[in-house]
Amino acid sequence: MSIDVIFLGLDGVLFDTEALHLAACNAAFANAELSIRWTLPALRAAAATHGYARAIGSAVAVPPLSRDKRRVAELFEDKNRQFHQAILARPPQAQAAALALIEDATAAGCKICILTDLPAPATGALLERHFGADVNSIFAVVAGGVGFDAPAGTGPYAHALHAMGVAPSDAIAIDTDVPALRAAADAGLWTVSVAAYGKDVVRPRQFITFDALHDLHASPYTPDQQRPAPRQHRVA
């Protein structure tokens, strides 16, 4: 397969943000005077359907709280604020394997892009803390706060690929975020999950290398079993 573009997620792909998300969710619950307190397994269970950035949404998805739109919005806002403050105070380290993938891919002329549902300020803070002024030279596209629920052909992957003049079949998305992977698959990209959760998700035994991407025959990402099976992609 030809690989011209690699889309990398931030949560659990480029950075280990899991502990920061957990602390931010619990702080937001406490500030909202909710009795909910999550453990790591609870966060991962929520992330398995919502992704890490919007995992807190699973806690407010049922009445009566779900009907209080203002309170739900305030909870999300507080969680995002707590997370942003945490990454400024304790910036997470970039994952060595992801950095090696970026180095090998860019040396081969492959474009690296970031599409994430993390808010744009948090996205910028994470990348600038590690890459500094090199962000614009390393990444062809950086977009935070994106939505992954748009119809196929109109979502962030389609827009990014159109801007770069690259066909979906020549691009791959590597992420932990189920909504992001689902959107990428629907847009025709190859997909790889490196999520730490979900027994029904087939994933590489270790973070996939650039050389290994060329050996893919189908996507090793398997969606949750509650959805109708999508068209078959090619398996590692």
Q: Among all chains, which residue has been given the structure tokens 């690989």?
A: 3
β-pairing, 190-193 vs 5-8, is unpaired
The model's pLDDT over 20-76, given as tens digits with 9 standing for 90+, comes to 999 999 999 999 999 999 999 999 989 888 889 999 999 988 778 778 889 999 999
| Confidence at residue 224, expressed as pLDDT on a 0 to 100 scale | 39
Distance CA 201, CA 117 (A): 20
How distant, in Å, are the alpha carbons of 10, 96, 232 from that of 189?
18, 25, 12
Domain coordinates in residue numbering, the chain? 5-14+93-215, 17-89
The backbone torsions φ and ψ at residue 41, rounded to the nearest 5 degrees and listed phi first, read -60, -35
Q: Among all chains, which residue has been given the structure tokens 């739900």?
A: 72
The model's pLDDT over 114-161, given as tens digits with 9 standing for 90+, comes to 999 999 999 999 999 999 999 999 999 999 999 998 887 789 999 999
| Confidence at residue 202, expressed as pLDDT on a 0 to 100 scale | 41
In one letter, which amino acid is 71? Answer: R
Does domain 5-14+93-215 fall under CATH 3.40.50.1000? My reply is yes
Distance CA 143, CA 155 (A): 12
Residue 136, SS3?
A: helix
| Confidence at residue 177, expressed as pLDDT on a 0 to 100 scale | 86
CB of 17 within 8 A of CB of 10? Answer: yes
Residue 153, SS3?
A: coil
